[in-house]
Amino acid sequence: RICVITLAEAHPLLQSGKTIKSINYQISANCSRLQNKVSGKSKRGAQFLTELAPLCRISSSDGEEYTIYSCIRGRLIEVNENILSNPAILQEKPSTEGYIAVVLPKFEESKSVTQGLLTQKEYREVLLKRLNSSS
Amino acid sequence: MSSLTEKDRPIVQLLLNTGTCPRCILRFCCVGSQMLYRHPYKDLMKDLKEFLKNNQEKEDTVCFDVVDPPCKRIRLEQTEEGTDDLNHNGALQQIPSVNDGNTAMENSAVKVCNVCLGILQEFCEADFVKKVCQKVNSADYQFTSFVFSVSLPPQLSVRERAAWLLVKQEMRNLGLSLAKDDIVQLKEAYKWIIHPQLSEELGVPADGKSLFEVSVVFAHPETDEECHFLATACPDCFKRAKNKQSVFTRMAVIKALEKIKEDDFLKHFPCPPSLPKNLCVAVEIQCNNGAVFVAGRYNKYSRNLPQTPWIIDGERKLESSVEELISEHLMAEFKADSFNFSSSGREDVDVRTLGNGRPFAIELVNPRRIHFTAEEMKRLQQTINNSSDKIQVRDLQLVTRSAIGRMKEGEEEKTKTYSALIWTDKAIQKEDIAFLDDIKELKLDQKTPLRVLHRRPLAVRCRIIHTMKSEYIDEHHFRLHLKTQAGTYIKEFVHGDFGRTKPNIGSLLNRTADILELDVESVDVDWPPTLDN
């Protein structure tokens, strides 16, 4: 099952007042997500991601840097290069054209990956709890 | 046309003594007259022995004169011989011992030939022919000719080689030579004898190109291990093939026999070949008809029907499919074992196929019935169309296998036209979409759509939208007719697929667009030929 990684609704970068300065897919000296190459149906050669694998680092104009993590296990199929040339779409259309990456989990892990995620409703409840506890 | 002459005498004697049947003897004497092999077994045996007795005869007064009708010969011999058991229906029976010296053949049932293991004996007889024809008739096939294919156990090649070496040696002693290619092949002689009989029983001619195949597999388990020595002598000929029961296939054995040296062969295999205890057995008698192909064009009117059965983990996700709805009736009429459905491209479950429909072809495997008139095909088409309102077929006809190629070329090369119902988030006016009509040959770059990415390689496809025609509906809807290159993903062109198809309707209109409905209006392939129904 194909997965598309995007910024969550509540992500700081999507709150008003934030402007994106730069997006960097070079996450370490040896690893750039831009160099990811896959071939064939089984997507051989893909960089394998674990939950905490960084996808990219985004710097905002106010000096903050945010690391975007994969959050799921699987093969990295592609990263969105459109946001490099047009960072605005990341904030304008975070759930469609502003996606971060496409990941394909292992067939056997497909169910467990899905079960580890929150539904829209559950996410809203988490946000609500967060809001209530902080106020 | 050759018959037995003086120089054949020692060979005949030798082979007869070592347990070879009359027909194999004729083969090794390079007798090419088909008719001779068809003579009844006992007559041949008798004539051979007669031939051996006539030591003082000159060359022209030969026993095996083909011009003489066999019955005349028998009567002549009868008066000379005296008593003899003549069984009128040609069945094998007791034969008297050869009375010419040291080798005495036992006065019992016919010995199984040490070269053909009974193929040119028992299996040429009317009883076996009847057995085969019974099988054919009960299988209830429709056919106008037949091809008879025989599978012989590999050890026959080994025994043939041994017999040839034996004869070659004898000929050398006489200052003569015998080339392997001059010997009549066992399969050939067998077919000379059995084809006319089968043809007569079945009422149709034998034809090498026939699509109806009657096949018999013979086995001789008693001697199966005789080939094994070849594996040690020529190990590279015998590779362990997957899913094959035995490594000793006919081809492998023949290859090894070509490679092995004469002396090596003689070291490992008895020459002359040993006398077998039993006949071969006909392990399998099977019938098979060549596949027939039915082509046509189908329309799909349901938005809930997959083209092929949709089954995940053994569970059917959606009821039925285009291919099942069409093939069900064809399978019943043609009485085939199975089918293979293919079409010139395909559409999604939720997409209708309108207009002239999409070309398809169905291969019916091993059909019992193969002849259908145009009328019958029309009726079959009607039956299919009456059985479901989800699909309809037209131009249903029988085609050749080569026709499939034409259909597939349509898939890659020809254009298709579509009609899409499009929704936009921001309001639109007629003027906002009018410009689409003027865009010609629009080039698209489409990354593999996310919805198929799990089973397709990641790639970028360049496709062309040739023409577009818009139909305004309301502020958030319009219909778009497009003519595109084969292989274009229409849905992705409309919604943009996360920006991975560029340009897309959304980017062209500067809005967010999505597709509500899609129909295939035409598949521009002019095959199969249109019939006037």
Domain locations along chain B: 123-226+269-288, 292-411, 416-523
Mean pLDDT of A31-41: 89
Tell me which residue in B447, B450, B454 faces A4 most closely, judged by beta carbons: B450
> What is the rounded CA–CA span in Å between residue B389 and residue B276?
66
Q: Do the domains B416-523 and B292-411 match in fold? A: yes
Q: Are strands B147-151 and B212-219 parallel, antiparallel or unpaired?
A: parallel
Q: Do B457 and A41 touch (CB under 8 A)?
A: yes
User: For residue B474, how far is the Cα from the chain centroid?
Assistant: 59
Q: Do A96 and B498 touch (CB under 8 A)?
A: yes
DSSP state of B29: T
Q: Do A104 and B450 touch (CB under 8 A)?
A: no
Q: Are the C-beta atoms of residues B508 and B428 closer than 8 Å to each other? A: no
Q: Are the C-beta atoms of residues A106 and A72 closer than 8 Å to each other? A: no
Residues of chain B with pLDDT under 50: 1-2, 56, 58-63, 65-108
For residue B170, CA distances in Å to B11, B13, B19, B51, B164 come to: 7, 11, 16, 19, 10
Helix B250-259 × helix B155-173 angle, to 10°: 30
pLDDT given for residue A42 in this prediction? 86
Q: In 3D, which of B196, B195, B216, B72 has the Cα closest to residue B153?
A: B216
Q: Are the C-beta atoms of residues B528 and B399 closer than 8 Å to each other? A: yes
Tell me which residue in A1, A39, A97 faces B498 most closely, judged by beta carbons: A97
> What is the rounded CA–CA span in Å between residue A75 and residue A107?
11
> What is the rounded CA–CA span in Å between residue B398 and residue B395?
10
Mutation pick from A39, A78, A95 vs chain B, by most beta carbons of B within 10 Å, is A78
- Half-sphere exposure of residue A15: CA atoms within 13 angstroms, side-chain side: 3
> Catalytic site residue B348?
yes
The b-or-e profile of B426-460 (16+ CB within 10 A means b, else e) is eebeeebbeebeeeeebebebbbbbeebbeeebee
Mean pLDDT of A103-116: 88
Backbone angles phi, psi at B320, to 5 degrees: 60, -170
% of chain A residues with pLDDT over 70: 99
CATH for the stretch A3-133: 2.40.50.100
| Residues of chain B with C-beta less than 8 angstroms from the C-beta of A43 | 457-458
Residue B227 structure tokens: 């080939």
User: For residue B145, how far is the Cα from the chain centroid?
Assistant: 15
CA-nearest residue of chain B to A38?
Answer: B458
Residues 6+ apart with CB under 8 A from B184: B26, B27, B30, B31, B32
Thinking of the domain B416-523, which architecture would CATH place it in? 2-Layer Sandwich (3.30)
pLDDT given for residue B429 in this prediction? 94
pLDDT given for residue A135 in this prediction? 60
| Residues of chain A with C-beta less than 8 angstroms from the C-beta of B451 | 2
CA-nearest residue of chain B to A89?
Answer: B499
Q: In this predicted model, what pLDDT tens digit does every residue of B412-452 receive, in sequence order?
A: 788 999 999 999 999 999 999 999 999 999 999 999 999 99
Tell me which residue in A38, A89, A99 faces B458 most closely, judged by beta carbons: A38
pLDDT given for residue B94 in this prediction? 37
Q: Are strands B147-151 and A101-104 parallel, antiparallel or unpaired?
A: unpaired
Q: Which of A:116-135 have CB within 8 Å of B? A: none
CA-nearest residue of chain B to A75?
Answer: B454
Q: Are the C-beta atoms of residues B131 and B285 closer than 8 Å to each other? A: yes
Cis peptide preceding A54, ω within 30 of 0 = no
3-state DSSP call for residue B401? Answer: coil
Q: Do B454 and A1 touch (CB under 8 A)?
A: yes
Domain boundaries, chain A: 3-133
Cα angle for residues A11, A14, A16 (degrees, 5° grid):
125
Q: In this predicted model, what pLDDT tens digit does every residue of B260-278 receive, in sequence order?
A: 888 888 888 888 888 888 8
**DSSP letter string, B151-174:** E--THHHHHHHHHHHHHHHHHHHT
The b-or-e profile of A1-40 (16+ CB within 10 A means b, else e) is ebbbbbbeeeeebbeeebebeebebebeeeeebeebebee
Q: Are the C-beta atoms of residues B374 and B310 closer than 8 Å to each other? A: no
Give the active site residue among B43, B100, B264, B348: B348
Fold of B292-411: Alpha-Beta Plaits (3.30.70)
Mean pLDDT of A13-31: 86
3-state DSSP call for residue B121? Answer: coil
Backbone angles phi, psi at B28, to 5 degrees: -75, -15
Mutation pick from B425, B445, B450 vs chain A, by most beta carbons of A within 10 Å, is B450
CA torsion sign for B494, B495, B501, B505 is positive
Q: Do A4 and B498 touch (CB under 8 A)?
A: yes
> What is the rounded CA–CA span in Å between residue A23 and residue A25?
7
